Chain A
Amino acid sequence: MSVALLIDFGSTWTKLRALDLDSRTLMATAQGPSTVASDINVGLDEALARLGDALGGLPSFAYRLASSSAAGGLRMVTIGLVRELTAEAARQAALGAGAKLCGSFAYRLTTADEREVEALAPDIVLLCGGTDGGNRDVILHNAQALARSAIRCPVVVAGNREVTDEIVAMLSEGRRLVMPTANVLPALDTLDIEPARIAIRDVFMRRIVSAKGIDRASARIDHVLMPTPAAVLEGARILADGVEGREGLGPLVVVDPGGATTDVHSIGAGEPSEPGVIRYGLPEPHAKRTVEGDLGMRHNVAAIVAAVGLDTLAANAGLGIEEAGGALSRVEASVEMLPATDIERQMDGALVRAAVDIAMKRHAGTVETVYTTQGPVQVQRGKDLSAVGWVIGTGGAIVHARDPASILAVACTDTRDPGSLRPRAPRLAVDADYLLYAAGLLAQIDPAAAFDCARNHLRLLDPACSSPASILASERRR
């Protein structure tokens, strides 16, 4: 029997998944505390002991692969030229690489910006600016600013290729690791973030893993391959696109509401689903990840309440204002809180629906009618996700919810907001065993096994109740 061990070094838990590579099924899961601050092995050993209990002894693993979001995740600063162009392309590349964006800068860095980047102390800086053959002054100015600053972290350079050599020489002087790669925006109509993503992942494996003390577990694992959000995106990508010999599910969306942020991943071209629609803005990444730092179920409850309103939230939870307020204050008092009472569960349901609703609205593209002298024209910004076939929920807030379908339904088309290009009639499913990250990791070595495991464990929600319209109707009746 061949078994793969997939590890997620999280900020709270060290999570393990043991996959049987012959039957392509999950054998066992286990978790221990996250102990990256002291010795990462303590939590890992605890989790491994539990896994051994579950399996009746630890098998010898064919692969032992890990992802990490511990020790603050992969903190990145991006720098570009025009905010809507190379600066945006840089953000897309960093998010796609699983980074936690702590700052995004555009145009020339000022002295104050320099101080800010120093204070942010990122793990990696992604330096972009100018299309190939385009502007070179600004990225050179910004490289000089980095070179003379106290910033010593690795720099990935993905701007106008004409000045890449010069920039590498300039930045290498401070004994920094400098990683040159292809321009994220070689031409205005071409987004090319894959090379930058690969470079970021490479730096992550070579440098960040040891800088954060994750490599102390190197005797127990083979590789720490990528940040956990990148592994989830990769898992979503193989599920959608398929792998050699396996047909994928087609375009899909993954929503992941967490304690501090809500992530949305979409895989697909996002081209207009109706003829005659004109696209506006930068090309969109095939695998797109957005992170809403203000939509956390625990750490940012106040922001969700501010966005939705306490009365709406209470009504959505089926609670009175006072009951709702009480439940919210208990959440705010303890971010570790798991819902114990019915009221708390109802409140959590309302919070997660609000977070998913807003996060999906921000992730999905929009279409608006522009009236011209030649008649009305439809203009699309962002990705058209209306024809997406699947919406998949992952993370405890969805998986442990009483009615996951009611949460995923709010990610779909909303008649009150017809300009939002959200999935219209997708199938709804849950990553019930939290396997997407594990599949994303395993895909680096055995793509077919990774696909099969992810596919086998996708729990399709009851089709009778998973029609978004009927769920929304029942939600509103409640």
Chain B
Amino acid sequence: MTSFLDRDRTVAAPGYRRWLFPPAALAVHLSIGQVYAFSVFKTPLVEHFDSSLTAIGIVFSIAIVMLGLSAAFLGTWVERSGPRKSMLAAALCWSAGFLVAALGVASDQLWLVYLGYGVIGGIGLGVGYISPVSTLIKWFPDRPGLATGLAIMGFGGGALIASPLSTKLLATYGGGGSDGIAASFVTLGLIYLVVMTLGAFTARVPAPGWAPEGWTAPTEHHGMRTTANVTAANAIRTRSFWLLWVVLFCNVTAGIGILEQASPMIQDFFGSVDAVAAAGFVGLLSLANMTGRFVWSSTSDVIGRKRMYMGYLGIGALCYLTVAIAGTSSIVLFVVLTAAILSFYGGGFATVPAYLKDLFGGLQVGAIHGRLLTAWSAAGVAGPLIVNKIADNRTAAGLEGADLYQTSLYIMVGILAVGFLANLGIKAVDERYHEPEAAAATDQSVDLRTPEGARR
């Protein structure tokens, strides 16, 4: 059984078409993207445990922190093990997380929900998120932005599916109240186990030396696009890695600031918007988030990653500034601008693996990506903290409506400006970090069983 899961048992047979791999990646990302729809369970969980929103909100926070940590610490293992084993591990963790959380709900033990959905499920999130990335880049060396955008779009789309599905499950099992939580968790866990396992068994890696028909790997460096390879251990010693960490942190912090507060924000900006319409606004932002992942990441293949991030951060800052100055003047203007910001937020996530591939080569891009995702964990704490804290303080000062968010919006403009400058500072990685030519020759191959051996 173990050998069946090994990387060298997943090498594609002659004639395998590369477009057969993306659904495996999408199956995993659409499943773990459920985490963005966790809020559907918030109120029922508060009622069930008779606890505060903060106590239940911790479940989501633990999951996101574990996502970053597991991606960082297990990235090298994922790279070495290949997509089938790592996708299956993600499937087991993610579904086991739901089952343990269901046990916690059934036995009234909130700590089991923290352990299940937060810790175990969070590990599934981290491993699942990075598991298809390097394989996608190897199947699509000519269009890495398109390939990773397609998969990471799934993470955005997962919430679009899970949100209405979870609402229906809660209604079916418990009349929409807290009675149906445990059964809903079990159902979701089993559905995701089947879908992700199908994805794992479908996963194939390209044979050594494989290349798309008519495409030859570039032999010379072009701008920041390197033909060399850098290991994960060496990548984190470079200035460009940490500048990119800052870029991702700033882009995610700014996006989460709106995403977290979308529903109350539009109601505070426009008194005529009720809760039902606000839910439509949240849905629209989710669509923008998902679409931006695919569209902008694919565009980066044409215009380059650095220019793409200049757009995300520069135009994003202008959008935030316009919302702060003139956001209350028109609901259409407000919706268009915030949707643009969220599309840049999603695009930033989806373009980053291709940016890493440009800078560090494809050898250990999945492991490097895992280390970079700690920026997501940090931003997941910083973004909501900034917006919520300032809104609370301004409420205490007697302000209301759009005035609650003005300071936050200007802070987000500043954060995006910092990210813009960090992006400008990203340069091609110095040759002293490159692996020897022999390792570079395996860039498009699958033989990564001993990546440590390639380290300096």
Query: Do A and B share a complex?
Result: no
Which A residues are closer than 8 A to B by beta carbons? none
Which B residues are closer than 8 A to A by beta carbons? none
